[in-house]
Structure 1
Amino acid sequence: MPNWSEFADRALAGEPLTRDEARAVLAAPDDALLDQLAAAYRVRRQHWGNRVRLHFLLNAQSGLCPEDCGYCSQSKVSAAEIEKYPMLAREKILDAAERAARLKAGTFCMVISGRTPGGRVFEKVLDAVREVKARHDLRVCACLGLLSEAQAVALKEAGVTQVNHNLNTSRRYTPDVVTTHTFDDRVATVEHVKAAGLKTCSGGIVGMGETDDDVIDLALSLRELEVRSVPVNFLIPVPGTPFETVRALDPRRCLRVLCLYRFLLPSQEIRIAGGREVHLRSMQVMGLYPANSIFIGDYLTTQGAAARADLEMIRDAGFVLEAPDGSAYAGDPLADLPESYPRAPLPMIHV
């Protein structure tokens, strides 16, 4: 059996695992899981203490996407029953930002469907970002599809802190997931974001039928690109999508993936993203030992856990919320949260 504590030592020293060692993390038996989590937490604690960063998602433009991503309910090949609408009015976006602030989220993530934003939509995004920044102490993350460096610069000037653009899977497996763009197209957008001086946010989706080596290759690509924030999604097989019959995950598999990503990406923000509630289920809190971030509220086209339940989970495990400035949140986050906080009117996934 590998010595997981030695894996933590290597991660803390900045040394990557070998491929065989990475495979061993994913192939470990269930009785090794607690030791893996303890080792991963030692790395997480060194870089992030016991803080948990919260992100809030807004699906600001839904459906009608020309891409053919097999996992996505908004793609042109999806028959999923979802709401489809153009770019939301600014006031609706500001209402969502208010909800994010009330839920103690440090980052407001604004997402639009589509391959790349058109000129009018992009200007609306910039306008909304400026207004959100003027009203709230929130980091703003934009997820807008493929971007040029000039667009990334414009987002930074408007007040965007980071841009999300997931690689989604390995270079090898990408053609099995999507044919309307390439792995290199996605890498180029991440590089444009980095060149503009924005924080890079890029991760993937696990459970789409990929191999262990694909999971490892994705992490290594993110490490090579020096991505700073890594959302790890777990596939929700939405009815009506090409991947609706894919069933490849259980809670222990998900936790092993999170441990591996902490070993390979020791200082990065690792976020448990779409599929957390579906696949980790009663073991969700254990994901906070390797990961240091979650979404609160809903996802893009699927509903998340109730905000109160998430905040109680964080508190009960002895973790503390991270404030927008990176410090520990002062006070009880549940103190001014209504017993039944209204759900976002536009449920959400996979960002």
Structure 2
Amino acid sequence: MTTLLDGLVGKALRRETPSRDEALAVLTGAEETLDIVAAAGRVRRHFFGRRVKLNTIINMKSGLCPEDCSYCSQRLGSSAEILKYSWISPEEAARTADQAVRAGAKRICLVASGRGPGARDITRIEDTIAAVKEGSPEAEICVCLGLLSDGQAERLAAAGAHAYSHNLNTSEARYADICSTHTFTDRTDTLRRAGAAGLSPCSGAIFGMGESDEDIVDLAFALRESDPDSVPVNFLIPFEGTPLADNWELTPERCLRILALFRFCFPDVEVRLAGGREIHLRSLQPLALHLANSMFLGDYLTSEGQPGTDDRQMITDAGFVIEGVDERTLPDARHDLVAIRRRGAGSDLPANT
């Protein structure tokens, strides 16, 4: 192993951040990709062993979003021929969740298109959480509803949500190139609200949108500052009818290097294989399991994933095991760092300011 990779492994095991030069070298340096995967795999095994956490998405409301995110098939002006529907019932969501849990999913992600939820939307999600918990009380519930306003994160936490997901998606410097209807700061503000309410922060990225190596590193470092517990790594699905329909720039090797960088930057955090893995990693998906300790099972928001039976077989064939519902995902030391807020807004104790 090279001096660079030895240094990266040592830093990661000490939970230290790579330098900018080290991070850039992972993406475009002279080291062989397999050597990089092997080095980052050491970090993954140290903190997470050979466990793979399974997650599933339930798209509660699809399409007709007023935001103009260039990568999204649900965006304003999209002509992608996706399913479009209003809110599904809590009972339908609970049935889907139960099926996913029986297939091995540990986290259920309730997602709805839109800029952000209104009061009625929060009530719908509260009812859905209750319905899911009634049938699958052991499941983690993650909610993704867009930008949050005052008091909404607290309501979701009180309803039994475990996490809130809101990706930063790309670097702050180029965010306006991807979306004009909200800002990078809007997204970081929502993450702050979720964390302050005691929700586990989930935030990641989408790659393949024309970003440079510098953009990737900027985003990784920005995500570190937000201190998420889970980091989904998406690879662009270039939907026809969206501005990025012709962006087919990713290779399996590029995807593996990005995943390795995120493992070095987030050594003890849940790094999740997310949308686009099937079409961009292709036959190298099993190698990605040596970097990510979590993945989505089943379909995504508006596109289909590979069959769950194939995913479970891939995990077994690669020598990994599915994480059980009674197992901790984050290592013990990481759990010690996650302090649930018990003071300030919503409590009888003064804020820590």
TM-score after normalising by structure 1: 0.91
Question: What amino acid is the match of 2:120?
Answer: R
Deviation track 1:96-117 (CA, whole Å, cap 9, x = no partner) reads 1111112110001110000011
The amino acid of 2:307's aligned partner reads A
Work out whether residues 164 and 194 of structure 2, in 8 Å CA contact, stay in contact via their aligned partners in 1: yes
State the AA in 2 paired with 1:265.
Answer: F
Contact 2:61 2:85 in 1 (8 A): yes
- Deviation per residue, 1:74-123 (Å, 9 max, x gap): 01121111111111012211111111112110001110000011222221
Deviates more, 1:89-98 or 1:156-165: 89-98
Kept in 2, the 8 Å contact 1:80–1:241? The answer is yes
Q: The residue matched to 1:181 in structure 2 has which SS?
A: coil
The runs of 5 or more residues in structure 2 that have no matched partner are 330-353
- Partner of 2:24, secondary structure, is helix
Aligned to 2:190: 189
Aligned-residue offset at 1:2? 5.2
State the partner residue of 1:132: 132
Q: Note the C-alpha offset of 1:47.
A: 1.2
1:56/1:297 contact within 8 Å kept = yes
Contact in 1 for aligned 2:91/2:131 (Cα 8 Å): no
Q: Secondary structure at the match of 2:301?
A: coil
Correspondence list, 1:88-237, <5 A: 88-136=88-136, 137-237=138-238
Q: Deviations over 1:4-30 (max 9, x none)?
A: 12211111112211111111100035x
Structure 1: runs of 5 or more not aligned:
329-351
Give the aligned residue type for 1:111: V
For the residues of structure 1 that align with 2:229 and 2:215, how far apart are their CA atoms?
Answer: 20
Counterpart CA distance in 2 for 1:75 and 1:244 is: 13
Separation in structure 2 between the aligned mates of residue 207 and residue 111 of structure 1, nearest angstrom: 22
Inter-partner Cα distance in structure 2 for 1:246 and 1:318: 33
What is the identity, as a one-letter code, of the residue corresponding to 1:295? F
Relative to structure 2, which stretch is displaced further, 47-56 or 118-127? 118-127
CA distance in 2: counterparts of 1:219 and 1:81, whole angstroms: 33
Percent of aligned pairs with the same residue? 49
SS across alignment from 1:140 = strand
Aligned mates of 1:324, 1:187 — CA distance in 2: 30
Equivalent positions of 1:47-66 (< 5 A) are: 47-66=47-66
2:82 maps to amino acid: I
Contact 1:77 1:242 in 2 (8 A): no
- Distance in 2 separating the partners of 1:172 and 1:87: 35
RMSD: 1.3
Task: Give the Cα separation in 1 of the matches to 2:149 and 2:44.
Answer: 33
Alpha-carbon distance between aligned partners in 1 of 2:212 and 2:328, rounded to the nearest angstrom: 38
Paired amino acid for 2:318: A
Deviation at 1:258, TM superposition (A): 0.3
Secondary structure in structure 2 of the residue aligned to 1:110: strand
Superposed counterparts of 1:17-96, under 5 Å = 17-29=18-30, 32-96=32-96
Q: Distance in 2 between matches of 1:222 and 1:306?
A: 31
Determine if the alignment matches structure 1 residue 277 to structure 2 residue 278: yes
With structure 2 as the length reference, what TM-score do the two structures score? 0.90
Amino acid at match of 1:145: G
Q: What do the CA deviations read for 1:150-203 (whole angstroms, capped 9, x no partner)?
A: 111111111111010000011001001000000000000000011011100000
Matches of 1:2 and 1:69, distance apart in 2: 40
Work out whether 1:306 is the aligned partner of 2:307: yes
Query: What is the Cα deviation at residue 3 of structure 1?
Result: 2.8
1:127-171 CA deviation, whole Å, 9 max, x = no partner?
110121122021011000001351111111111110100000110
Deviations 1:52-77 (A, max 9, x none): 00001111100110000000000112
Q: Which residue does 1:11 correspond to in 2? A: 12
- Return structure 1 stretches of 4+ with deviation > 6 angstroms: none
